[in-house]
A = this chain, B = another copy of it.
Amino acid sequence: MQSSLLLRDIVIGMSDGLTVPFALAAGLSGVVDNSNIIVVAGIAEIAAGSIAMGLGGYLAGKTEQDHYKSELKRELEEVEKVPEREKQEVREFFEQIGLSKEIQERATEEIATDKRRWVNFMMKYELGLDEPDAKRATKSALNIGISYIAGGIIPLLPYIIIHTSTEALKVSIAATLVCLFVFGYFKSKLTGVHPFWGAVKVMSIGALAAGAAFGVASLF
């Protein structure tokens, strides 16, 4: 579970990290001869993107925690103050999954004998909320941010080494498409998609984004 969450963060960060700086650099290659300006723009983008995604992930995690806490507090209060209404909600759950009136009634009475269990039941099955891990938000922010940086460095490296932007572009396209393919392959394996076609899709999105950036930039 822990490692699958880490992999999810890496996938989120790296898929945008490989795609957006790559496409930005490709777009600028159509209008700027000098690689330096592309490297600076790429690095600025990586800094901006990793912070926006990392802190975005952090905020989303914190919001999820706060939301869980406030709902938990509300359920705890309601179980004390309006137990009959809360029992009715448990009953409705059992009705909706298709149990008979008698079993609905008896199952509800059993759940309601233990308040902690009752509240946990309501949180999970009435509201669909799982308790979020308190340390996740921070870890997730770091994982996503670092993955974005790691992904973003790959398409930029050729521009750092080669000073003619059109030459650097060729190497960047080759290197990034290979990385997108490998990345897409493992991502697809994780999510249960056919690895080869999943990899082709991920690579196509990168190519399309780079093509669009190149086309749009050339128009101006």
B-binding residues in A (CB < 8 A):
15-16, 19-20, 22-24, 26-28, 31-32, 36-37, 39-41, 43-45, 47-49, 51-53, 55-56, 59, 63, 66-67, 70, 94, 97-100, 103, 106-107, 110-111, 114, 117, 121, 125, 191-193, 201-202, 205-206, 208-210, 212-217, 220
Contact = CB atoms under 8 A, between A and B. Distances in A.
A5 to B, nearest CB: 15
Contact of A40 (B45, B192, B220): B220
Contacts of A98: 110-111, 114, 117, 121
B44 A27 contact: yes
Given A111-B99, A114-B98, A216-B43, A48 B67 contact: no
Given A40-B31, A56-B16, A98-B117, A47 B23 contact: yes
Of the listed residues A24, A37, A94, A191, the one surrounded by the most CB atoms of chain B closer than 10 A to its CB is: A24
A191 B64 CA distance: 9
Copies of this chain held together in the complex: 2
Given A28-B41, A44-B216, A52-B19, A107 B103 contact: yes
A82 to B, nearest CB: 21
A24 B53 contact: no
Contacts of A59: 201-202, 205
Given A27-B48, A192-B70, A37 B40 contact: no
A67 B212 contact: no
B52 A217 contact: no
Given A56-B15, A103-B110, A205-B55, A44 B24 contact: yes
B16 A209 contact: no
